[in-house]
């Protein structure tokens, strides 16, 4: 798959919403009341090797490597993590890239992201995601929160 078609496939799989939901509809329920300190420790122990100690990701993360795998993206404000709702972030972390995409019927997308469901508990995954979110500016936290369905 070429760089252009890989990017197009990525855009279809993970579209960026261009509409805005009123902030009153924000839903951070899964990330509320989480242990941010534990999440930071879990991030450093399980994620930093690929995504960077400062959430900076790997160089050229938007372009596939020689094996067709996208490098680890940043989880800071410069990446696309905040473009996704909490459930997708949880599923991607638990099942990994291949598992998440296979669950959606997509089997030809190569991903370097392993699943952590056998390594981390659900609460540990949520704490890790809450830590990542806590590093974003408030404006980006608000945008990301608007992508979550209200309960």
Tens of pLDDT, residue by residue over 84-120, are: 999 999 999 999 999 999 998 998 888 999 999 999 9
**What kind and span of H or E run contains 139?**
helix 138-145
pLDDT at 9 over 90: no
pLDDT (tens digit per residue) in 125-143 = 999 999 999 999 999 999 9
Q: Which of 66, 56, 87, 84 is CA-nearest to residue 140? A: 84
| Confidence (pLDDT) at 28 | 62
For the chain, the C-alpha Rg in angstroms (whole number) is: 15
Which domains can be identified in the chain, with CATH numbers? 35-145 (1.10.760.10)
Helix intervals (H) in the chain: 3-13, 36-46, 48-51, 86-103, 122-134, 138-145
Using DSSP, state whether 39 is helix, strand or coil: helix
Q: What number is the average pLDDT over the span 56-66?
A: 94
Q: Which residue has the higher pLDDT, 90 or 150?
A: 90
pLDDT at 123 over 90: yes
Using DSSP, state whether 130 is helix, strand or coil: helix
pLDDT at 19 over 80: no
Please state the three-class secondary structure of 4-35 as a single string.
Answer: HHHHHHHHHHCCCCCCCCCHHHCCCHHHCCCC
Q: C-alpha 32: how far from its chain's center? A: 17
- Distances in whole angstroms, Cα of residue 134 to Cα of each of 9, 47, 55, 150: 29, 16, 12, 20
| Number of Cβ within a 10 Å radius of residue 59 | 7
pLDDT (tens digit per residue) in 24-47 = 334 467 888 999 999 999 999 999
Q: Are 20 and 146 in contact, with CB atoms under 8 Å apart?
A: yes
pLDDT at 12 over 80: no
pLDDT at 22 over 90: no
């Amino acid at each position: 798959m070429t760089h252009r078609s890989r990017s197009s496939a990525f855009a279809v799989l993970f579209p960026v919403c261009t509409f805005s939901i009123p902030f009153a509809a924000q839903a951070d329920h899964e990330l509320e009341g989480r242990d941010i300190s534990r999440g930071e420790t879990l991030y450093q122990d399980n994620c930093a090797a690929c995504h960077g100690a400062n959430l900076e990701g790997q160089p050229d993360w938007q372009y596939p490597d020689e094996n067709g795998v996208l490098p680890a993206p940043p989880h800071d404000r410069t990446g696309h993590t905040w473009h996704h709702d909490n459930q997708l972030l949880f599923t991607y972390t638990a099942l990994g890239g291949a598992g998440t995409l296979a669950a959606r019927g997509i089997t030809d997308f190569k991903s370097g992201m392993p699943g952590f469901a056998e390594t981390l508990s659900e609460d540990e995954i949520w704490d890790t995601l809450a830590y990542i979110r806590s590093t974003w500016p408030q404006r980006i936290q608000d945008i990301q929160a608007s992508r979550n369905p209200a309960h």
